Amino acid sequence: MKKFTLLPLAALVASSMAMADDIKVLKFSEDGTPTTFDPVQAGTTYANTVTTAVYDTLYEYKYLKSPFELKPNLALDMPQVSEDGLTYTIKLKKGVKFIDDPAFADGKGREVTAEDFVYSIKRHFDPKNRSQGSWLWTGKIVGVDDWKANGSDYSKTIEGVQALDSHTVQIKLIKPFPQLTYTLAMGYSSIVPVEAVEKYGRELSVHPVGSGPFKLVSHNSTKTVLEKNTDYRQETFDLAGSGYDEKVHGFTGIASLEGKTLPIVDRVELNWVKQASARWNSFSKGTEIVNTTLQNEQMNEVLASKHPVQLKPEYAERFNFRVNPEAGLVYNFFNFDDEYFGYSNDPEINAANKALRCAIVKSFNWPQRVNRFYLGIGEAYPGFIVPGTDGFDPNMDQSSIKQDIAGAKKLLKQHGWTKQNLPVLNYPGVSSTRNKQFFEQFRGNLTKIGYPKKKVRQKTYATFGDFNKDVKMSKTQLIPMGWGLDYPDAENTLQLFYGPNRSPGSNGSNYNNPEFNKLYEQASVMQPSPERTEIYKKMNQMVVDDCVGIGGYSRTRIRMWHKNAIMWPQRDVMGNYLKYVDIKS
């Protein structure tokens, strides 16, 4: 991709800054590349990292708090919510300005107002923007769907999203949506000025104009450079408010950030390094990127122990590390649209299809998968509720994640499955060595329960986009994928099984169980409570009993960073964290 420079002036400023002795530069890295910074399209972790650094959202997550907890960002306080849970009133901070940019009449950034938030939400329901985030509010906010259907006229008011005055937003819901405030911390809800959209059009994707702690200087396929927004509102690091725990975070030096003005570093160089070996080499040099995630290739070289995780002395001397499960999971779903996996009106066929699904689940060997591909660290868990979210039950029956070859064979025999009538299985995935190994392991375990090797085939795709397109069109028998939480609530994974969300929606399995749907609809409007937790547990058990898929497993990440970088590496759910990082000279 050709290098894109935001402004000649900005480039000159950045160049002069780089020559200054006291400039703090964070050489950050990730293993993928963003393709857009337009909030309506910011659907990847990589795009979200930049989007939440250059734009503002009403809320953000406390930097160090676990479990995750929201706090006001551009909002003045947490929302005022009506007793019926349908009306949210949110006050915005005054005096916050967009960055200076030629999009504005005098080149000077104007104040951010409530109308800017309303406009930014409307953009998601304008078909020409092809929003990836509209699903968050579709069918939930009063009037947005009608506004879209009636031509997306920006001059028309939407009843459910209004500016009561210049600094007060009101959101009206069709039905209670307890997760609404979480969505207002996502990159999708970033606040964009209409002037920038009108001036740059599609170029907004590489020319963001926000009010966040940083502004974009340049971007290409290997590096994105951000510069401190010197007009960023007065904000200081609050140790207690960030969720600091001396026992957990003490070794990082983060306590020294107390009271520092945000953002702390002057410049961020985000290096997009996809190849694991190249990223490790850059990290190891000591003069390039300051953070990485340990990969299988480096495990034996770096780790002294896996249980517990400990670095070898020579690495412990140079680097900090943390071990944390991702806020998400990996899984293999069955496609219930498939004649061999789905429901049937014929009770005998229906029972046989379920037996086939359950036999395949029983064939799966999680310890083998974890040892081969995930550093041998972490354990699978039954069901699809991610640890750390409401409804996860550590005491749930473990039988669904234990390999049971005899049990699988018995099921197949009881329901008349033989080598002759077992269907051909096409295991889909992007063409890569890793996915080839996934397939071989999957097929190897199936042969142990009597599945003919020649009937288990790999179906490869050139890109993830090609694969995902077939999933969205219900053209794959199996769906081996991962899901990162959009917000820390079990509803976000349970909705993967809600019937109305079927392909091309998030329910790629096309599972449609009326009892599950009813429970989902009941729980989805409830505030957190013991009653809701029990419903979540019941729903999770239901999809386990129906053998909807093979799951779940949350990958355990070993984050490493140089000791001169004062940081707490985040990736899952979180956004807007670059402003909290410091670099010691």
Residue 121 buriedness (CB in 10 A; 0-12 / 13-18 / 19+):
buried
pLDDT of residue 21: 55
Percent of the chain exceeding pLDDT 70 equals: 96
Q: How far apart are CA 431 and CA 462, in angstroms?
A: 6
Query: Which has the closest alpha carbon to 392: 334, 332, 335, 327?
Result: 327
Q: Quick one: DSSP state of residue 551?
A: E
Do 4-267+565-583 and 328-554 share a fold?
no
Sole residue written with tokens 């090609």 = 466
Parallel/antiparallel/unpaired status of strands 456-461 and 425-430: parallel
Q: For residue range 404-462, what is the model confidence (pLDDT) as tens digits?
A: 999 999 999 999 999 999 999 999 999 989 899 999 999 999 999 999 999 999 999 99
487-504 confidence digits (pLDDT tens): 999 999 999 999 999 998
pLDDT in tens, 187-215: 999 999 999 999 999 999 999 999 999 99
Per-residue three-class SS string for 480-518: EEEEECCCCCCHHHHHHHCHHHECCCCECCCCCCHHHHH
30-49 per-position pLDDT tens digit: 988 888 999 999 888 889 99
* pLDDT for the residue numbered 421: 97
DSSP alpha helices (H): ranges in 35-164?
A: 45-54, 114-124, 144-149
The domain ranges of the chain are 4-267+565-583, 328-554
**Residue 45's pLDDT is what?**
85
Closest CA to 292 of 311, 278, 306, 308: 278
Residues near 24 by beta carbon (within 8 Å), at least 6 away in sequence: 264, 265, 266, 267, 582, 583, 585
pLDDT in tens, 362-396: 999 999 999 888 888 888 999 999 998 889 999 99
The CATH number of domain 4-267+565-583 is 3.40.190.10: yes
* Model pLDDT, residue 2: 34
Has residue 560 got a pLDDT over 80?
yes
Instruction: Tell me what pLDDT residue 484 has.
Output: 86
* Rounded distance between C-alpha atoms, residue 287 and residue 274, angstroms: 19
pLDDT range class, residue 13, cuts 50, 70, 90: very low
How much is the pLDDT for 538?
97
Q: What would the mean pLDDT of 235-249 be, rounded to a whole number?
A: 96
- Say whether pLDDT at 15 is over 80: no
- Mean pLDDT on 469-492: 92
Residue 118 to residue 354: CA distance in whole angstroms: 47
Architecture of the 328-554 domain: Roll (3.10)
329 SS3 class: strand
**Among all chains, which residue has been given the structure tokens 């599945």?**
451
Q: Phi, psi at residue 189, to the nearest 5°? A: -90, 15
Select from 393, 371, 330 the least CA-distant residue to 551: 330
User: Dihedral of CA 261/264/267/269: which sign?
Assistant: negative
Q: What is the pLDDT of residue 16?
A: 41
CB distance 333 to 509 below 8 Å: yes
Write out pLDDT tens, residues 290-319.
Answer: 999 998 889 889 999 998 999 999 999 999
- CB within 8 A of 495, min separation 6: which ones? 501, 506, 507, 520, 524
Q: What is the pLDDT of residue 270?
A: 96
**What pTM does this model have?**
0.86
Find tokens 């080598």 and name the residue.
419
Element (H, E) at 437: helix 433-448
**Greater pLDDT, 223 or 43:** 223
- Answer positive or negative: Cα dihedral of 47, 53, 54, 55: positive
Classify residue 130 by burial, with Cβ atoms within 10 Å: 0-12, 13-18, 19+: exposed
Mean residue pLDDT of the chain comes to 93
Query: Which DSSP symbol is given to 104?
Result: S
The torsion angle over the Cα atoms of residues 340, 342, 347 and 351, rounded to 10 degrees, is 70
Name which of 223-237, 353-367, 498-512 the model is least confident about: 498-512
Look at residue 18 and tell me whether its pLDDT is greater than 70: no
Position 465 confidence tier, pLDDT thresholds 50, 70, 90: confident
pLDDT of residue 5: 41
Angstrom distance (rounded) from CA 585 to CA 580: 16
Give per-residue burial for 422-437: e unless 16+ CB within 10 Å, then b. Answer: beebebbbeeeeebee
* pLDDT at residue number 3: 38
